[in-house]
Structure 1
Amino acid sequence: MSDPFPAIAEAEASGSTAELFADIRATVGVRVVNLVWRHLATMDEALPWAWAAVRPLYQQGMVDQTVIGFRQAMALPRLATLAGDEPASVDAVLASYDHSNTVNLFSLGALAAWLRGEGAAHGLPQPGTRLPTPDVALPALASENDVTPETWRRVLRLNCFGDSEQPLILASMYRHVAHAPAFLARLEPALAAVQADGSLDRAIAANREAARRSSRLLARAITAERPAHATDIESSVSAFVNHAIGKMVTICRAIRVARESAAA
């Protein structure tokens, strides 16, 4: 897969970029910096501007309160059982991405809406208590050379569910769970079934639209000067919101529900 969205690896970050990565981890409440932030770090001054613009949305609990309401009405496809004797790291990855993808969906959706001038005409987002964050350690982010060819091909096939046949962005969650090939082997037919009956695409579309409405309201809380390269920043952020993050919010939540139902 070609990589139209290059990124700075956390281990390679230095100086102010490393400091921003550390603040993102602490503020969002995760052990890893999501790909979208690492991609923005490759663009001149994009990361410090974008993070400063949305950081208050996290700090004041506005994003968290939006997530609470969103999850109450969230559409989910019904996956076949995904029970299995997995490494503990599988559920750690799912918990981390279920949290980070969802809060990032709203903060970045708000940022993209603000850059397009599409904030809601009325209303203000409500601050509130922040959600608890998953205190979990994650396995290494696998690359093609770290796993068998069969496992990597499965990662690429999984990445197509809920997206176009040639998605632009490889969702990092699949790379984190690539160390558990038996789990991926069960996950693929489960997602294939809901892709085939249309329920996966319908749920993703419904959740994206709900998130879009809430993001426009959150955009009203952003106070920033319009940056240089605003069009490039908006284009990149929107690609993540509309594709990788937009689909994985639904997919990751559905997987967790399927695993929790099986455990019960």
Structure 2
Amino acid sequence: MLAEVRESDAPPETAAIYAKLREAYGLPLVNLIWRHFAALEGVLPWAWDSVRPALPLLDAARERVRAALPVPGLPMGAEAAELATLYNRGNLSNLILLTALLRGKQGEATTPGAPPPAMLPTPLPLPRIEALPEEVARAVRALGALHGHEGGVIPTLYLHLANWPAVLKPLHASLSPMMATGRIATLRDAALAAASIEADRLRPYLAAPPAPPPEALATARETLRLFTSRVIPEMVPIGLMLAH
């Protein structure tokens, strides 16, 4: 599992940034990549300060990426669809913003003011994998293993779906052939292409705050490369299918 600082464990300075992220995204949760940044010295405030000016442009960018990804439905129940809707907003936002962050600021532009989006409903708490029954934990790990990510990263959506354990095995059965035949890879590449365009549009709006310590920044950039090339763009179409 990736090093992270959970929302319930966050010290005051981290919790304050988490609160700003939730408000800016209109999400009642903080995604894994940001929780991982909090585990690296100086990275969370640097990343937040870098992308904050571009946030008012995110709604339109997110919708353009979504429109570029026509996906089939993957009916797994109302609870899974509602949870996927939350993660879709976070994953689409993060794919665009963090691709821009990884590429770095380029140009100068002033962001027009805009109110944050309405807050989505609060889901059931995120389980801890070590607290799950062994059969449920195995099912969560099996879903993560479909992706073959370096370091065994388990997308948080799968862990969150453990609140409805009956969904996990049918979801694995549905996704496994789509992985094997390259369907998810094709949708991932489409998500990457669409998000790349939007990320470059946002780069002039990024800020350039002082960088964190070199070792922490190197680790953050390595994780960013994995998340923006594989982890997030694979979960974008999966989340859209679940919510469709």
TM-score bucket (shorter structure): 0.7 to 0.9
> Residues 49-128 of structure 1 correspond to what in structure 2 (within 5 A)?
49-58=46-55, 60=56, 62-76=57-71, 78=72, 82-84=75-77, 88=79, 90-114=80-104, 119=106
1:46 and 2:30 equivalent? no
Using the TM superposition, give the Cα deviation of residue 239 of structure 1 relative to its aligned residue in structure 2, in angstroms: 2.2
Q: Which amino acid aligns with 2:95?
A: L
Q: How does 1:205-220 map to 2 (within 5 A)?
A: 205-220=189-204
Q: Give 1:42 deviation, angstroms.
A: 1.5
Distance 1:225 1:67, change over 3 A: same
1:241 aligns with 2:236: no
1:21 corresponds to 2:5: no
Do the aligned residues in 2 keep the contact of 1:30 with 1:100 (CA within 8 Å)? Answer: yes
Q: CA shift at 1:238, angstroms?
A: 2.2
- Among 250, 254, 258, the residue aligned to 2:237: 250
Any unmatched runs of 5+ in structure 1? Answer: 258-264
**1:100-145 Cα distance to aligned partner (Å, 9 max, x none):** 1111111111101117xxx5x8x97986867844521211222233
Q: Deviations over 1:17-72 (max 9, x none)?
A: 111111111111111111111111121211111101111211x2x12111111111
C-alpha RMSD over aligned residues? 2.6
Which 5+ residue runs of structure 2 have no aligned equivalent?
Answer: none
| Displacement of 1:251 | 0.9
Q: Aligned pair in 2 of structure 1 residues 212, 226: CA closer, same or farther (>3 Å)? A: farther
Higher helix share: 2
- Between 244-253 and 132-141, report the one with greater CA deviation: 132-141
Question: The residue matched to 1:178 in structure 2 has which SS?
Answer: helix
| Residue in 1 that maps onto 2:170 | 186
Q: Aligned residues: percent identity?
A: 25
Equivalent residues, number: 241
Shift of 1:178: 0.5
Answer yes or no: is 1:155 the counterpart of 2:150: no
Contact persistence 2:24–2:116 (CA under 8 A) = no
> Which of structures 1 and 2 has the larger relative contact order (alpha carbons within 8 angstroms, sep 6+)?
2
Mapped contact 2:95–2:232 kept (Cα < 8 A): yes
CA deviation after TM superposition for structure 1 residue 213, in Å: 2.9
TM-score normalised to the size of structure 2? 0.87
Provide the C-alpha distance between the structure 1 equivalents of 2:197 and 2:184, rounded to a whole number of angstroms: 20
Report the Cα offset of residue 6 of structure 1.
0.6
Q: Give the Cα–Cα distance (whole angstroms) in 2 for the partners of residues 127 and 22 of structure 1.
A: 22
Deviation at 1:247, TM superposition (A): 1.3
Residues 25 and 31, structure 1, Cα contact 8 Å, conserved in 2: yes
* DSSP-derived class of the 2:104 partner: helix
- Residue 173 of structure 1 corresponds to 157
1:177/1:108 Cα in 2 relative to 1: closer, same or farther (>3 Å)?
Answer: same
State the alpha-carbon separation in 1 of the partners of residues 205 and 128 from structure 2.
Answer: 38
2-structure distance, mates of 1:126, 1:199: 37
Contact 1:114–1:216 under 8 Å retained in 2: no
| 1:226 Cα deviation after fit | 5.2
Q: Provide closer, same or farther for how the CA distance between residues 167 and 256 of structure 1 changes in structure 2, counting only shifts above 3 A.
A: farther
